[in-house]
Structure 1
Amino acid sequence: MKQFTALPLLAAAGLAASAAQAQVTNPDTLVFLWTDDVQSFDPAYISNTPSSYGTLNVYSRLLAYDGEQISEFVPALSTEVPSLENGLIVEGEDGSVSYSFPIRPDTYAHKVGLMGEDGTVTWEYYDDLSEEERANIEPGYGVITAEDVKYSLLRAMLMDESWMSKAVTEMMTSGEYTDVAAIAEDLTGAEVPDLDEAQLQQVYDELDQLISVEGDTVTLHLAQSFPATLGIMALPFGTSIIDKEWTVDMGGWDGEPTTWGDYFRPEASETPLFADENGTGPFMLEEWDRSERRIVLRRFENYMHGPASLERVVLRTVPEWTTQRLQLLSGDADVVSAPVEFLDELAATEGVKVVDGLQRVFGRALFYAWPLQAQDNPAIGSGQLDGQGIPPDFFADLDVRMGFNYAQDYDLLLEQVNLGKTVQSRGPTVRGIMGYREDSPIYTYDPEKAEEHFRAAYDGQLWENGFTMTAYMQEGNTLANAALSVLQQNLARINPKFRLELQALPAASIMDKVFADEPTSPLTYMGWGPDYSDPGGPLGAATYYLSPTGLVAGFSGEGYQELMREHFQPLLDEAWALNDPAEREPIYARLQEMSHEYATSMFLWEDYTYIVTRDWVDGYVNNMILYGAWDFYPITKSASE
């Protein structure tokens, strides 16, 4: 899961009036300045967005996202996208589901193996070979096959390192197991480091039977429906496909059933793919200078979809905005990580392009929690509905939640705070995710309706006595401050006895209050991003917000969990058991409507981001499930007309 509590606010010098203009600097090379670092180039190891910049561009997966569409897929290493219609998704009478992927023939990795006269294999760059040399490539050595696909998936699951590799395990076991450690514990009663050879074989066999290879086709056999499968297969993490023979030659897992324990949860630098790769993506890793914090990617001329426009991409970590700014203005940098407060000045700078309002895959909301910790909790004051506090179960009353929702001025927040860059959230799922509909109900600022619900709450006691409560917000988070301040003022206008007090705290302090055994924060500004595009399953948006075991329920109290358990979980289960999107979509749309009917949270706006480049850079694709990671394949550099 990806959690978002604030936008970065940094200090820096002002901007010059114009940037160096005219000729494009280094037209074949993109210089990308950021403040992040790559964790590893091993797709089975990584789990964060910055690291996915590497694996997204040097590896391929069975499927790829269709441009900006997060729920539509196109073939990559698979020649077809499985569906019920084409027969590559098959539903069994026992509830099982299989997904078959025909593997693209004659797809070469960046490096291939040539057999020498002495019987040893040497690895050479495919781009550097003549046609005569290519004819001598050892079969399977750098040629991607269905066996490589099976090996890649098994390796990711058995390595058990990152939460995204664990997601592959959860997918393949239809949610029965969260990771391979859980499989080992269940089957053997032992922890992985203590397994003997027979137990290692037992765990391996449990996963091996779920993936079969027949000719050029690999098939995943799931015991139950797991509709997020296609979305997971397109993510640039543990489902990225590596060449087995090269990995084994470099010292990686040899694929044997009893040796995988030696490669379980390694340190980052212990895997041969840490700073090396042999993928099939549009770029190759040419250099990773970790002391200089510089990565150079070089174009793979024989990429299956044709060579990229760019010859090289240089990613450099530059923490100081002043340095990034100078290189942007001089034309020595093409892309920078600009602080948000400088966007207006950058947009007015000649030669600089700002693309703002790019949708993200999650919304911002104020989350209600009940019951709250009753003892030693300053947020609830007296703990009574006496005007000096609120009871611990204050938000259990639907009229209270609806009153709060009608008291918020969403249009003001959209136009004056977010400057028209986004739209109001309609519930847990945002635009592009199954279940989102343009006409689903939303709350509007309506003081009369707010008063109506407040008068009905607690048999009139709330309106008569008023309340005092504290809401916490992260220091420096101007958007959180705006949302809570507007609500504070409107509540006081509706009834002067309604006192919402605001307190700014460091992020760590807020997390302590939110994630305590019993929540202490009655109203929390936050945003949660799903890990794949499907709304259901363990890591989907609808589950995160509306399941009694979801992330939001985890910090919203037992009362919230019971509401989800009684009204929402049955529909979540019903949708997850289906594989036909046409049957699933109306259920998720209904769940979206129910989040409005039950006022589960105060959904504010869909979050958004921006990019800052020289005006000669084009081709950026904002696929929001990738959380801003750049696919460099479509990027071009050319002088603006």
Structure 2
Amino acid sequence: MKKLAMLSTLLLAGAALAVAPKDTLVVQEASDIPTLDPGVTYDTASGAIVENIYETLVTYKGASLRDLEPLLATKLPTVTNGGKTYTFDLRKNVKFHTGNTMTCRDAEYSFERNLVTNSAESGNWFISESLLGTQANANDDKSITWAKIDKAVECNNAGQLVFTLPQVDPAFLAKLAYTGQSIVDSKHAISIGEWKGTEADWKNWVGKDLTDSNLNKQPSGTGAYRLVRRDANATLLQAFDGYWGKKPAIKNVVIQKVPEIAARQQAFLRGDADIIEGGGRSVDTEQIKGKPGVRWIDNLPNTSATAIFMNQKIQDPKLLGSGKLDGKGIPANFFSDVNVRRAFSYAFNYAQYIQDVQQGQGKQRTMLLPDSFPGYDPKVKTYKFDRKQAEAYFKRAWGGNVWKNGFTLTANYRAGSVGAQTMMEILKRNVEALNPKFKINIQPKQWSEMLADSKSGKEAMISIGWAPDYADPDNFMYTFYASDGFYSPRSNFKDASLDKWLKQARQTVNVAQRNRLYSLVGNRAYEQAYYMLVPAPVNYTFVRDNLQGVSAANYNPLISFSYTGTFWKELSKK
């Protein structure tokens, strides 16, 4: 306990460890951690910790993006009723961090809690869609009743967990592997003031934001690590002595918030940190690759998609300046003119971004979908950097008033992210070079604040990526392009054609038909320039060379958000 006390002291002081001990993993990141409540975990910074505190019924097998294996279940489920009923046997004698024993009731509570509190930002919309037939919660869809939620997931007399779907969903099992569908300690949650798990108070919790919930502050999962302490700058976790699985070699994990990339690099090269958030391929290649004590792992799969959003209904007056097209600001619907969006799309230098940020190891995709996924159409057109085209469309925008009067736009980027900053700098430089009346102010912003403000439509222009919840094209295409998709509040466009095609794609299992529909979506999105598609990098990671368990052979981007491609319990140091 003396070592734990020492780590806690360093944690509170915000100090770095002098050469990370053999039984301690030190990770440094630029971002803060929005939440530790699985019910609202829907960002990578939170997910990297939650997936090690909590566990799901099933998980991905090794490096496979499709094959699943049981985790808290003892085997994959029995599927009956024409593919609409899933029955799980659960592990016995599994302990939560409080010492409570996991039962079927905990699993039932966890999923019912997710259905009750479901919101567009919680990550539960896709499980609600499977179990209730709608992405909405009971506040937004009056057809949702307590009886409907209660029937969707139940424990039978044999102690098995039974899901009953209203219709077949071939992606349902994969959805259960997402960390937001982890099993929580129901007795503990109820005791600290969370939902009681009954019909009596369920309506009080419908759509409730769990980001700063009591369970966020006092998590209790079945995972290999338990929370010891957390403050604004660091989080300390310790291996759980009562863990049901193999005991991890790493006993302590320290996650430190270090916004300055130079400080992270120095700590990593000294051996004070085992893993750090890098600055993009060009920065990391120059500053990290080939240095003593570094293991560089390249050519890893990229299953994410990133875009620059152009919000067509900006809700924050502070970003609008004068609120008019008078050179001193922009109207809230500035990006509703397709000519503005096309002009910006032509003004971004994609090739320069690939060279400067990705060290030439990047690819400009045609759609916001990984090119390894079904449904991706390489024939869809893409925008290229073209000053003349950008100028032409700016001259057409808003009846010529954009070019005549100019504008001032404020765009935020994630604080500490070199890639995001460089992206905005490239766009700023190219747009301002077209007309002296054009002004783009760029500024860093904390990640948690950006998430909160962007989901309320307050950000004017930001870059955000999407990592898959499960391996199906719908998880990307509906997210980015549907008017009720997860990212809709950040872009605020509605396109009846896109909505029609995306819903049709959800209603068929015919692969060729789905692919045709997604091609239509891709072509329409290009024509309307709803997003600037950020080139996709070839993935890589780097760790200290004494850290074992990280390799291309077992790297799975659908399991871990913590740069290792695997859970902390699989790591060790030599």
Name the structure 2 match of 1:15: none
Which of 545, 550, 566 aligns to 1:615? It is 545
- Counterpart Cα distance in 2 of 1:153 and 1:505: 41
- Counterpart Cα distance in 1 of 2:229 and 2:572: 23
- Counterpart Cα distance in 2 of 1:432 and 1:351: 33
5 Å-filtered alignment, 1:170-249, equals: 171-175=130-134, 177-178=136-137, 180-182=138-140, 203-214=145-156, 215=158, 217-224=160-167, 229-237=172-180, 239-242=181-184
- Counterpart Cα distance in 1 of 2:393 and 2:473: 34
Conservation of the 8 A alpha-carbon contact between 1:532 and 1:625: no
> Quick one: which amino acid aligns to residue 249 of structure 2?
L
**Cα distance, 1:416 vs structure 2:** 3.7
**Cα distance, 1:604 vs structure 2:** 3.3
Q: Which of the two has higher C-alpha Rg?
A: 1
Name the structure 2 match of 1:573: 503
- Counterpart Cα distance in 2 of 1:156 and 1:455: 45
1:346 equivalenced with 2:288 (yes/no) = yes
3-state SS, counterpart of residue 234 of structure 1: coil
5 Å-filtered alignment, 1:194-593, equals: 203-214=145-156, 215=158, 217-224=160-167, 229-237=172-180, 239-242=181-184, 255-258=197-200, 271=214, 274-275=217-218, 277-279=220-222, 281=223, 283-285=224-226, 287-288=228-229, 293-298=235-240, 302-303=244-245, 307=246, 310-317=249-256, 319=258, 328-337=268-277, 343=284, 344-353=286-295, 359=302, 361-365=304-308, 367=310, 369=312, 380-381=325-326, 396=337, 405=345, 409-438=349-378, 440-445=380-385, 450=389, 468=406, 472-474=410-412, 477-486=421-430, 492=434, 501-506=438-443, 524=461, 526-529=463-466, 532-533=469-470, 540-550=475-485, 554=489, 560-561=493-494, 564-565=495-496, 567-579=497-509, 584-593=514-523
3-state SS, counterpart of residue 136 of structure 2: coil
1:634 equivalenced with 2:559 (yes/no) = no
Conservation of the 8 A alpha-carbon contact between 1:227 and 1:534: no
> Quick one: which amino acid aligns to residue 94 of structure 2?
A
- Counterpart Cα distance in 2 of 1:371 and 1:284: 41
> Quick one: which amino acid aligns to residue 164 of structure 1?
G
**Cα distance, 1:301 vs structure 2:** 6.3
> Quick one: which amino acid aligns to residue 477 of structure 2?
A
- Counterpart Cα distance in 1 of 2:425 and 2:311: 17
Distance 1:581 1:623, change over 3 A: farther
3-state SS, counterpart of residue 295 of structure 1: strand
> Quick one: which amino acid aligns to residue 59 of structure 1?
Y
> Quick one: which amino acid aligns to residue 88 of structure 1?
V
> Quick one: which amino acid aligns to residue 123 of structure 2?
M
Output one character per residue of 1:62-119: Cα deviation in whole Å (capped at 9) or x when no partner. 222345565654443346667xxxx83766xxxxx72514325x4431369xxxxxxx
Alignment RMSD: 5.4
Distance 1:482 1:222, change over 3 A: same
**Cα distance, 1:534 vs structure 2:** 6.1
Conservation of the 8 A alpha-carbon contact between 2:304 and 2:370: yes
- Counterpart Cα distance in 1 of 2:335 and 2:518: 28
- Counterpart Cα distance in 2 of 1:371 and 1:111: 44
Q: Any gaps of 5 or more consecutive residues in structure 2?
A: 1-17, 416-420
3-state SS, counterpart of residue 44 of structure 1: helix
- Counterpart Cα distance in 1 of 2:467 and 2:406: 34
> Quick one: which amino acid aligns to residue 543 of structure 2?
T
> Quick one: which amino acid aligns to residue 177 of structure 1?
A
Conservation of the 8 A alpha-carbon contact between 1:228 and 1:536: no
Over the matched positions of the two proteins, sequence identity in percent amounts to: 16
Name the structure 1 match of 2:95: 110
**Cα distance, 1:208 vs structure 2:** 0.7
3-state SS, counterpart of residue 426 of structure 1: coil
Output one character per residue of 1:212-241: Cα deviation in whole Å (capped at 9) or x when no partner. 44546534333356666444322212x212
> Quick one: which amino acid aligns to residue 364 of structure 2?
Q
Which of 128, 152, 157 aligns to 2:110? It is 152
TM-score when scaled to structure 2?
Answer: 0.70
> Quick one: which amino acid aligns to residue 109 of structure 1?
V
Output one character per residue of 1:390-418: Cα deviation in whole Å (capped at 9) or x when no partner. 9x8897567x8667655654323322453
Task: State the number of aligned residues.
Answer: 530
- Counterpart Cα distance in 2 of 1:553 and 1:45: 18
